[in-house]
């Protein structure tokens, strides 16, 4: 290949068989279990990167089932999102994500900077309960439960929450191990078609783990829980702060 051919073909690794295709990335029947809990504010201060700020010591723990995803296939995801603001704009800082499919791990990290690691999350219905679990190797590190479809959530409330941006800390090293890219990225979910949303009683527990430290943001009180199903497009991001500039 000539250098021009390399430049034309360069999109993702590996060059000759990228782990994922170019977007857009559409998700059909994406199902969320989101348990919002109160945590230790000092623990949050240790992980939320400026210029992001938080007003309340809250965390959203999410289990997400994605049975039909453009280019990524069928997979499940779990992790922590921290409600934050950038100036006056409210959104969610994605702190940790664990999933069971290599393609979205590679795409999420390389394109947006999602903090994805390989694990075994599950979201399923057991009789009258929606159950989410996360195993890292052989160790169960998170369990979330919610009463199945107890109360409908107003669609306007769900639409407002889905319209807020997400924030990511994208870090890509140079060949010498120093950071080549270190950016705060903002992204949105677009073309959202809500198919239903519900609330109910919920519980959440963590087990400490050296390589999957979700328990470092401990559960002090469960505040609320939401179960929703939607179609959406995951839009590409934009850089809102470059930590290496200047």
pLDDT in tens, 170-224: 999 999 999 999 999 999 999 999 999 999 999 999 999 999 999 999 999 999 9
11-33 burial, b at 16+ Cβ within 10 Å, e below that, comes to eeeeeeebbbeeeebbbeebbbb
Sequence ranges of the domains in the chain: 19-240
Res 246: pLDDT: 72
User: Does 90 qualify as catalytic in the annotation?
Assistant: no
- In CATH, what number does 19-240 get? 2.40.400.10
Tell me the C-alpha distance between 209 and 230, whole Å.
Answer: 32
Q: Which of 60, 116, 157, 195 is catalytic?
A: 116
Res 155: pLDDT: 92
pTM higher than 0.85: yes
Tell me the C-alpha distance between 204 and 61, whole Å.
Answer: 9
């Amino acid at each position: 290949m000539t250098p021009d051919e390399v430049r034309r073909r360069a999109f993702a690794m590996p060059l000759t068989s990228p782990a994922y295709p170019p977007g857009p990335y559409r998700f059909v029947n994406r199902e969320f279990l989101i348990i919002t809990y109160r945590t230790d504010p000092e623990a949050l201060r240790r992980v939320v990167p400026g210029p992001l700020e938080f007003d309340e010591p809250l965390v959203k723990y999410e289990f997400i089932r994605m049975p039909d995803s453009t280019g990524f296939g069928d997979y499940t995801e779990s992790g922590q999102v921290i409600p934050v603001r950038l100036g006056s704009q409210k959104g969610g800082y994605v702190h940790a994500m664990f999933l069971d499919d290599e393609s979205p791990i590679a795409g999420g990290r390389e394109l947006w900077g999602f903090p994805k690691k390989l694990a075994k999350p599950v979201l399923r219905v057991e009789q009258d309960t929606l159950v989410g679990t996360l195993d890292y190797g052989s160790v169960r590190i998170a369990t979330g439960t919610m009463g199945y479809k107890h109360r409908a959530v107003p669609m306007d409330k769900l639409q407002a929450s889905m319209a807020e941006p997400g924030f990511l800390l994208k870090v890509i090293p140079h060949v010498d191990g120093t950071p080549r890219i270190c950016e705060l990225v903002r992204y949105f979910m677009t073309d959202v078609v809500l198919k239903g949303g519900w609330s109910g009683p919920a519980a959440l527990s963590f087990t400490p783990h050296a390589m999957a430290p979700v328990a470092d943001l401990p559960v002090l009180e469960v505040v609320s829980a939401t179960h929703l199903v939607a179609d959406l497009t995951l839009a590409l991001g934009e850089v809102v702060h470059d930590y290496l500039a200047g």
